Every structure is written in C-alpha cells, then in structure tokens.
Structure 1
Amino acid sequence: MALEPIPTAQVTIKTTKGNLPFHIFAKETPTTSLQFLNLCNSKNLGDLNFTNKDYLTIKPKQEDIKLEIESNSRIKCKRGYLGVFNNEYIISLTDLNLKYVFGKIDSDSWYTLQNISKLIKEGKKIEITDIVVDKPYFELDEIDVKNDEEIDNEPKLKKPKVVMNYDLDEEEDDDGEIKLVSAYDLKKKRKNAKEDKTLLQDRENEVEDKAEEVIDEEDKNIEKHESREKELQQEVEKEIEVIEVNSNSDSNSDSDPDPDSDSDSDSESSIDSIKQNKKPNYKIDPKIDLRVDLKHAESITLDQLKNHKFLT
C-alpha cells in the first residue's frame, strides 16, 4: 500500500464559526493546487454550502471559471479531504470514491468542520470572513488592490536588482561604507573567479606531473647505477674465486716448505688488483708523468713512452 505524500502548502479558511486549516498536496497536484491557491489569495471563493449529506461545497465567485482537475494514486478521499467535483470544490464528511483530491483538513479541526456542517444542515448561514494562504509553495499571482480609476497607465520602470556583497576578500574602504553591486556584475565576477581558479588548478596539476616525471627519471638512473655496481661486484667475486682456486691448486703442487705465504701474497695482490680495476673510475684525468718533456720528441726513449699515460 502506497504511503500518502506529505503536504507542501497550507490554506486557512476563516468562518464565523471557526477556522478550517487545509493542507494542500501542491507537489503531487500542481495545476489544481496552484489554481486553488490563487483563488484563495485573491479572496475569490464563495461561502460554504450544503448540497449533499456527504460533503460541503465551495464555489468560486466567478461562475465562468473552469476548475482544473488532477489525480494521484497515493491520495485517497477520506473524511475531511478537499477535492473537485462537478466544477466545485468539495469538503468530504465521510470516505468517498472521488478521484480528484488535492488537500485535507487539519486533524485538530475535524470537529469544527462537523459543527459547521451541522449548523448548515439546520439552515444557518456560515460566512467566510477571510482566507489566508499560510504556505503558498508556488509563486502566486499579485493582487491589485487599487480601483480602476487609480491605476496608472504609464509603464513602470523595472528596478535593477542589487545584492549586498559581503565578500571578505574584497578590499574595504576606509570610511567603512557598504558597496552595492548589481547581480549581473556579481555573477560575472564570480564566473571569472571560478575560471581563474580552474586555470590555477590546471597549472598546479601540470607542475606536479612534471615533478613526478623528473623524480621517476632520477629513480631510474639510481637503479641503473646500483645495478651496474652490483654487476661489477659479482664479476669481482667470480674472479676472486677463480684466483683462490688456482692458488690452492698451485700450493698443493708446489714443494716449497712454506708455500702458503707466497700463494697467499700472490692471491691477495691479485685480488687487490682486480678490485682496483673493477672499481668505477670517477676521476676526470688520470695521473701523468710530469718528467716527460715533449718539447724535444726526438730525445724521448721507448721506455719513457711506454711508461707515460696519455690523456684520453
């Protein structure tokens, strides 16, 4: 079973025998509700009448008005509900099989409605003294309270819409005056500020992306360098193992009374030599023999050239 929707508008019909507040389902029946609220707002509803034992009727003062009708499957006509029937507004006094329902009376005013219906049955006249739209929900038509003779035929100038700007980021005047800014200028200013903010955010994202690319490149270089050092270390360890195996085999075959000392010294010198050669050379220029004089190339011997280290 569908739950009844929540009313979104309210009207109070004031009579000589009490007030009758009605809750209107304006959201579910917008056309019917808007017409009824406009009639209430313009005081264009007649008095309550009793034409049937099951409901009271209210007619618009203008007889040529065609009432709008709408239905909603979640709204059922129970006692005290407001609907449309035969181009009249009716207030049910019992449950009815009525399709076009758009409001209901406040539960606290049910006994007031019963008392009014009883007095109308007895032939007493109940007058509506006032109708107040408590919650309109819609933007209702404006009421012109002037007479025809008082209406000014000249067109009225439309006043520009202004708003109070309390933006704390703006610079304040020394005299403390409040600036009035037109709605158009304020909207344009906010739009420009939003665009500037978007551009700034895009620029920050671009800078972050570039920084991440630089960091990734540096990480790759570091990994590459570490991998190279690891390869060199493995090569050194392999050559050391080969030298140790060779030194052990030579020591076993040699008949020297103290073979370990020579083999150990040779292996150690070989290992140091390998380590020295496998170490990456980060120096820009190697050492040179400053004693070599290249002014007289004819006097340089072959041994000096062999011992000399040329820059590469």
Structure 2
Amino acid sequence: MKGGLEMHDDAGMGGHVPVMLERVLELLDPALGRAAEPGSGPVVVDANLGLGGHSEALLAAYPALHLIGIDRDPFAIEFATRRLAPYAGRTTLVHATSDELADVLDRAGFAEVDGVLFDLGVSSPQLDEPERGFAYSYDAPLDMRMDTSQELTAERVVNTYPAGDLARILRDYGEERFAGRVAGLIVKERAKEPITSTKRLADIVRDAIPAATRRTGGNPAKRTFQALRIEVNAELTALEVALPAALDALTLGGRVVVLSYHSLEDRLTKQALTARTRDTSPPGLPVPLPAHQPRFRLLTRGAELPSEEELARNPRAASARLRAAERIRLDD
C-alpha cells in the first residue's frame, strides 16, 4: 500500500509520511538538480500523486522545478491542491489515470521531462476511510473505486462475474491458492442474497479457505481484496501503459523511480526496465550495433527495501519495493 502512516491533525492528513522519501530524492537529484537554462527549470511527473507528500518535498527542494501531478482519485487532487498551494505557480495537477500520462504531457505542453515518480498501490486515505470499501478490517459498502466517478465497483464484480472469471482474477491478481474454492462459494452465496458489504465478503472468503491455512499468514481475505481492487481499478493494465510512456518521455539523463507494493507491480516494473537496459544486438556480432544499444541503465541492484529506521517511522512502508533507471541514450 502506498502513501504512508497517517498522523491525523487539524489539516486532516498533514502528518502523512511519504514512503522512502530520502531515497526517492537522492535518486532523482542528478536529473532535477542539473543546471538549467534561465527560465527553463526541470520538470517532474508524480504519476500517482496521492496526498502529495513526495511532490511537496520535490517542490521545496528545487525552486525552479515544475511538477505535473496525476491521480485518478478526486479526493487526492483536491487534497494535494490545498497542500501544494504555496507552489501553485509551479504545479499542474490533473485528474486522470496514469496510463493517460502521454496525453497529460501533451496537453500541458511538455515534450519531455526530467523525472517521473510512480508511487503505486492504494493510498492511506483510501484504506482509512471505511466508506471507500478497500479494507476488510471495516464493515463497509463493497466499493474499492479509486476514481469514485467510474461505474465498475467491487460489488458489481463479486455479484456479476462468472465463477471462472472470478477465479482467474483471484489467482492472477491475488495469487490466491484457493481461487476456485473462493470463487465457488462467492457464487453460491450471492445466489441467496447479493454480497454488498466488505464484512460479508471477508467472512465468505474465510469460510472458503481450509482451516489449517487460515491459522497462518494473516487475514485470509487479504489476497481476495487485493485482487478485486486491482480488477476494479485496472491497476496493472494502467502500469503496463504508463511506465513505457514515462520512459519514452524522459530526456537524456532523466530518471524514473518506481515504488511498488506487491509482487505483481514489482514484476511488471522489473520487466519494463530490463527491456530498456539490455543490448538487443543479434548474437555473434563482433561489434554491438548502435541502434540496439541500451537506452537506459539501472540505478538499483534489484528491488531496494525500506530501512529498519524507515519501518519504525512508517510501518505501512513494509511492503515497498523501489526500482529506478536513468536514460543514457536517446532514440535514433
């Protein structure tokens, strides 16, 4: 889960602690701290704006920086607009999904950018507000929409998808070993009465999981809720489009940083970055072909994890995985 620990105060969520903030700033600094032509400061995209914690730190660190913030959650845009008000002249905040990144840049008039940050997953306010229906720890309407204006909800998925599709989603997006059993019991129970609450769904999932398995590994509904959230918000589909678009938009020396929170996001990130950082020359050639040389280099060795100090300060960072890359060649 993204975002970080919330320490509620009079500002609502002013104590928000961005995940791995110091490392994010360190990785982006060589791209954002370069000397710029007068009047043409660096440009960075926060592709998952959330509460704006990373964005606020970036704007404070680089007085000439222009930030483009994207989020599909209207609440996030509203909150970040207030939070970043002191920097209003240097921000462009857009209600959109991350896979619209190329269009957002085009409309904003930026052909290239110096940095892109992806802070993936569900944000703290989405988890902490019961009525959003993301958490199995609250009894709430079965919603899970990051963008509350969209039609598809978790309730609709649970009550209308065929058993085979439900099982596929639970298996592929939740890595649920008992996907077939869970999907079968969901279909059986919804025939009696529509499943409309998070508590009832969590109870159904628990009943479908063998007792021996339920005794370990935390709440058995965790994987099902993750899978439904990813399906409702098309999260992996968005990342598959957004990350290549971000890499394409980076100028020479530009950098991308990705914070992911489960293995599916991290795997997609690894694949996208690896594809851009390897030599694709045909094997056996005495000299590598320039057109096949890598356009990017990895800045992290594998996926970096939060430090113990970070986890003590921000327990919600526990599942975070960070990867980063830098553009070293332009396309021919």
Same-fold status (TM-score > 0.5): no
TM-score where L is the length of structure 2: 0.18
Higher relative CO (Cα under 8 Å, sequence separation at least 6) belongs to 2
TM-score where L is the length of structure 1: 0.19
Structure with the bigger percentage of helix: 2
Between structure 1 and structure 2, the one with the greater Rg is: 1
